Amino acid sequence: MLTKEICVALLEAAGPDDAGMDNWRIEFEKTSPEAHQDFLETLGISAEEIARIRDRSKLIAR
C-alpha cells in the first residue's frame, strides 16, 4: 500500500528539493484539485492534514 511516508520517500529519492516539492503540490492542486484530494486520501492522510496541505498549496501559489 502506498502511504504518505512511502510517497515522501519516493519523491525525495527522485531529487526535488523543498521548493521542488512545493511546486509539485502547487501544480497538483492547481491543475487537478479533486485528484489531489483523492490522492491524499489514498495515502491515508487525515482530513485535517489534507486541508492543511491543500490550503498551504493554495497560499504558496499566490
**pLDDT in tens for each of the 62 residues of the chain?**
889 999 889 988 998 888 888 888 899 999 999 999 999 999 999 999 999 999 998 888 77
DSSP per position, 26-56 = HHHHHH-HHHHHHHHHHTT--HHHHHHHHHH
Could you tell me the residue range of the domain that residue 13 belongs to?
4-61
pLDDT at 60 (0 to 100)? 82
pLDDT at 1 (0 to 100)? 86
- The total number of structural domains in the chain stands at 1
pLDDT at 58 (0 to 100)? 85
Tell me the three cell numbers of residue 62: 499566490
pLDDT at 3 (0 to 100)? 92
